[in-house]
């Protein structure tokens, strides 16, 4: 081959090397991008959380239903909590199984409303149950007052009819990010107070607080100041409710399993039926 032939082939070899390197770089970039994309897809959408949706992941426990736990004789009034994940609920079957009260997710943050709320809230009432509504809190997204008003405007109201329980502030591990929603302990206590005070101003009722002892210790510093007025709903999937958050000498509700007969998480009211009616009447 002459010099011109040799020289003519070198650029083509260089282009091939450049092309191969480009393909390798592109492939590496694609591989590196995939985990990030998967992580983004794994982040749930706002509104998809429900009461206790973070408990098993953070605290473990036995989420399988194994029958009603062996507790104090009066803590026998069975209840359920439901959200959009249950869709249209068969309330008559739950009533026949012994369920006598229900809490229904109404809102989350200041943007989400449960599309099944009417069927669930009114259906439980029509079956004969005492029922109430709950709000899934997102303290990092907006003020406590804004979320309390949104809740009160969209299902979280109260009426003295003997069958409507006070609203619930569901405040637990953040399913969308940092455990304490980016707030320090004092800021979290102030946020909760803002929600509770606003809800009380709107409805005349002290909201129930749903949480776990571990989350409450971590994110509020085990603050005791709400215990005098606000009933406690403790979440713990075990044979007993365990140690309660600071200030509360007893629980009012206990979510003891993340599953249960028919549908929904199952719970116990810590008292007899007449005391549940008394709580509904304020």
Distances in Å between the Cα of 247 and the Cα atoms of 151, 183, 217, 224, 228 are 26, 22, 12, 4, 8
Q: One of 78, 81, 214, 265 is an active-site residue; which one?
A: 81
For residue 184, what are its two tokens? 């320090």
Alpha-carbon distance of 70 to 109, in angstroms, equals 36
113 is catalytic: no
Environment class of residue 165 by beta-carbon count within 10 Å: exposed (0-12), middle (13-18) or buried (19+)?
buried
Secondary structure element (H or E) that encloses residue 225, with its range:
none
Residues sharing a CB contact under 8 Å with residue 266, sequence separation 6 or more, in sequence order: 65, 78, 79, 80, 99, 255, 256, 257, 259, 260
Q: One of 78, 172, 214, 265 is an active-site residue; which one?
A: 172
126 is catalytic: no
Q: One of 78, 113, 153, 170 is an active-site residue; which one?
A: 170
153 is catalytic: no
Alpha-carbon distance of 117 to 120, in angstroms, equals 5
Report yes or no: 189 and 148 within 8 Å, Cβ to Cβ: no
Residues recognised as catalytic? 81, 170, 172
């Amino acid at each position: 081959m002459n010099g011109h032939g040799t020289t003519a082939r070198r650029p083509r070899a260089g282009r091939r090397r450049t092309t191969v390197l480009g393909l390798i770089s592109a492939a590496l970039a694609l591989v590196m991008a995939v985990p990030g994309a998967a992580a983004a897809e794994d982040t749930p959408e706002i509104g998809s959380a429900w009461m206790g949706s973070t408990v098993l992941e953070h605290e473990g426990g036995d989420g399988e239903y194994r029958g009603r736990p062996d507790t104090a004789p009066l803590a026998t009034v069975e209840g359920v909590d439901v959200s959009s994940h249950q869709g249209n609920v068969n309330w008559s079957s739950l009533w026949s199984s012994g369920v006598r009260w229900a809490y229904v997710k109404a809102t989350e943050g200041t943007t989400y409303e449960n599309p099944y709320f009417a069927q669930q809230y009114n259906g439980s009432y029509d079956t004969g149950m005492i029922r109430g509504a709950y709000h899934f809190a997102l303290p990092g997204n907006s003020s406590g007052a804004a979320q309390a008003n949104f809740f009160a405007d969209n299902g979280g109201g109260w009426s003295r009819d003997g069958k409507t329980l006070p609203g619930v502030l569901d405040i637990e591990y953040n399913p969308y990010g940092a455990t304490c929603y980016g707030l320090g302990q004092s800021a979290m206590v102030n946020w909760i107070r803002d929600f509770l005070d606003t809800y009380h101003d709107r409805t005349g009722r002290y909201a129930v607080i749903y949480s776990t002892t571990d989350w409450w210790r971590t994110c509020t510093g085990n603050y005791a100041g709400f215990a005098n007025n606000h009933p406690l709903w403790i979440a713990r999937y075990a044979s007993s409710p365990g140690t309660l958050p600071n200030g509360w000498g007893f629980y009012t509700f206990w979510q003891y399993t993340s599953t249960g007969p028919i549908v929904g998480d199952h719970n116990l009211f810590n008292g007899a039926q007449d005391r549940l009616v008394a709580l509904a009447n304020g």
